[in-house]
Amino acid sequence: TPRVGLIGWRGMVGSVLMDRMTDSGDFDLIEPVFFSTSNAGGKAPRGDAPLADAYDLDTLKSCDAILTCQGGDYTKKVFADLRAQGWDGHWIDAASTLRMEKDALIVLDPVNRPQIDSALAAGNRNWIGGNCTVSCMMMGVGALFKAGLVEWMTTQTYQAASGGGAQHMRELLTQYGTLNAEVRDLLDDPKSAILEIDRKVLARQRAMLDSDESAQFGAVLGGSLIPWIDQDLGNGVSREEWKGMAETNKILGLGEDAIGVPGGEAIPIDGFCVRIGAMRCHSQALTFKLTRDVPLDEIEGMIASDNDWVKLVPNEKQATMEALTPVAVTGTLTIPVGRVRKLAMGPEYLGAFTVGDQLLWGAAEPLRRILRILIE
Ligand code: HSE
């Protein structure tokens, strides 16, 4: 039975991962070793063994695989030392720290199983979960990339608060509540003036700026949006936007970062990443320039049959409102793709809209699946 070290299992992504591993019977196949960065000796979530110290390299080295959702700082602290001491187990990581390293593969097996298999055969031991937006997008429209149909793609994202972390979700809901409280009396009076309500909400939103009320996001999200996610790369591009092209191509084994597979030319991918007031589903409007004119029904068929989780939503109002929203998708592994249509620019221009739970396919699910692949 492989010994699998689990780190960061208490956090938001880690908790979703633990639930999925329990539901999928993963714990029947492994001997879990629960680590803690702050509570070594404390009680583990399963079994009788106390929590191990996540900085104790000897205990870490006793594991056949380590699966961490502890975050990038932890990876920076222990990964290099572990490898320097000769540990050659499988390192499975949700953090982005190692994602673009040459000796690491971004894992999303329904999309890049061939790359995973050849990397494994080539001796790869570092398996990193992709950016949530990229993984959810590829689960939805990976078929078009696999078929070589994408000349370029642009994506406009609508990203949920959970991408920032648990505290960000709390801040969003607190802002919503504060704004509602500010105008509750006026809302209760059907004859009150809407512009008076609007004025009071805006004044309260502006008062949130530069206060603890917007400390997590650094801007007001409740009743607004933030068109910048992650670091400013200094060239007009946000780090989240940069990841779109870099990671998609790496997942596909295109461009110079591929391992174990011949890398082809990278596909241009660019667009704007925007934080909106959803809880944990990232949504994206996609525009493709196809390499050739393919009939719409063929495209729909390819998308629908690509994997077990993608669901084609008919491009109609009622179906869209029922199935293509964060409220519909949250807590499920379903990746709906809808609004699929040819655009006014010409028959090679395709539009689509997709939604995914950024804690499931966006974070936890690819990690538990690569663990299963490695131990089976
Ligand atoms: N960077 C993503 C976001 C989450 O902020 O939504 C992690 O991939």
Interface predicted TM-score (ipTM) of this complex, two decimals: 0.93
Which of 135, 149, 157 minimizes the C-alpha distance to 288?
Answer: 149
Any ligand 1 atom below 6 A from CB of 279: no
Local structure of 88: helix, strand or coil:
coil
What is the whole-number distance in angstroms between the Cα of residue 230 and the centre of ligand 1? 8
pLDDT digits (tens, 9 = 90+) for 14-56: 999 999 999 999 999 999 999 999 999 999 999 999 999 999 9
Q: Which residues of 246-269 are buried (b: 16+ CB within 10 A; e: fewer)?
A: bbbbbbbbbbebbbbbeeeebbeb
Name residue, tokens 């938001």. 12
What is the whole-number distance in angstroms between the Cα of residue 358 and the centre of ligand 1? 8
Decide if 115 contacts 253 (C-beta within 8 A). yes
The catalytic site residues sit at 132, 282
Residue type at 10?
Answer: R
Query: Best substitution site from 106, 132, 134, 138 to test ligand 1's pocket, by max atoms within 8 Å of Cβ?
Result: 132
What is the whole-number distance in angstroms between the Cα of residue 101 and the centre of ligand 1? 19
pLDDT digits (tens, 9 = 90+) for 319-370: 999 999 999 999 999 999 999 999 999 999 999 999 999 999 999 999 999 9
- Read off the pTM: 0.96
Query: Best substitution site from 159, 226, 365 to test ligand 1's pocket, by max atoms within 8 Å of Cβ?
Result: 159
